[in-house]
A = this chain, B = another copy of it.
Amino acid sequence: MSIDCAARNRIAAAMQTATAPRRASAYAPSNIALSKYWGKRDQARNLPLNSSLSISLAEWGSHTEIVPAEDGADRVWLNGAALDAETPFAAKALRFADLFRAGRDAPLHIRTRNTIPTAAGLASSASGFAALTRALVSAFGLELSERDMSLIARLGSGSAARSLWHGFVRWDRGTAPDGGDSLAAPLDVHWPAFRIAIVAVDTGPKSMTSRDGMNHTVATSPLFATWPQTAEADCAAIETAVRAQDLPKLGALAEANALAMHATMLAARPALSYLKPESWAVLERLWRARAEGLQAFATMDAGANVKLIFEQTDSADVLAAFPQAEIIAPFSVQN
């Protein structure tokens, strides 16, 4: 397909001075959007309708190792298990590697290990494609910046654009038709007391991938029309609250933004509901606890789990209300 795509062009230019692939490994953290990415303006270039802002999950992420294949065959391992080349994960990883190889004979072994607890029920595509991008760039000895890598990782999964850094990261939607300005950058905010917790309520398979859910919602939800402008305004307001380290303001905005995203799905035809009765029970409990003074707020993605944001001083109260919560300190690692 010959569409003008900034990310593909960036790879092609860098690959002109590529070395033969060497063993390389990389790590990328997973991330949770506090201002959600929901809806594409361009499927082929994976360009979003709105900007988004996330917090990275420190040591919860993906380690990826690339090794030139001495046996001459592409192979993929996930968490130690060899995958058939036709499994979705292996096929996607190899198709992503093809963006770099672009026809050259460079068989690779790709080994990915996710450190995200299975019970957390978090998607690993963000950290997976970010780590794979870093590992491929290193394996081919390419001169590409982290901003370039964000642009490239976006082609694998939109949210991967935000997983190149620790801490708070903002992905600008951009306006260029070739996607050249649709990439992320870290915010210069160090907020050691910030916490995010995963309240797992369901580890079963999702009813629909987030990619399909997004497309179904954009295509059929009569309430989607005002989402892009709402999300863009939320993203700006959330960035301001993050820079001010104002947890109550950030929390109220992030929770409203997440609920608005789920509202667009609920109004899709037929309705799409990633949230389960148990998710609503967690939200009800949170709302009751907040009425009694707890400063914690919720955000939910295309799955049944609920994530809570709060500050370190409220950790004990969060655990008292949600004993199953897994608490992450995003600034416990250095960028």
Contact = CB atoms under 8 A, between A and B. Distances in A.
Interface of A: 222-223, 225-227, 229-230, 252, 255-256, 259-260, 262-264, 266-267, 269-271, 273, 275-278, 280-281, 283-284
Contact of A223 (B230, B281, B284): B230
The 6 closest A-B pairs by CB, nearest first: A263-B263, A222-B230, A263-B267, A277-B281, A260-B267, A277-B280
A278 B256 CA distance: 22
Contacts of A230: 222-223
Given A223-B230, A259-B271, A262-B266, 6 more contacts: A222-B260, A223-B223, A256-B267, A256-B270, A266-B266, A273-B283
B226 A225 contact: yes
Nearest to A229: B222
Contacts of A267: 223, 256, 259-260, 263-264
Contacts of A222: 226-227, 229-230, 260
Contact of A284 (B229, B255, B262, B277): B277
Contacts of A227: 222-223
Contacts of A276: 280, 284
Contact of A278 (B229, B263, B277): B277
A144 to B, nearest CB: 38
Nearest to A234: B222
Nearest to A260: B267
A309 to B, nearest CB: 16
A226 B264 CA distance: 11
A276 B280 CA distance: 7
Contacts of A229: 222
A216 B227 CA distance: 19
Nearest to A290: B270
Contacts of A284: 276-277
Contact of A226 (B223, B278, B281): B223
27 contacts: A222-B226, A222-B227, A222-B229, A222-B230, A222-B260, A223-B223, A223-B226, A223-B230, A223-B260, A223-B264, A223-B267, A225-B225, A226-B226, A256-B271, A259-B266, A259-B267, A259-B271, A260-B266, A263-B263, A263-B264, A264-B267, A273-B283, A277-B278, A277-B280, A277-B281, A277-B284, A280-B280
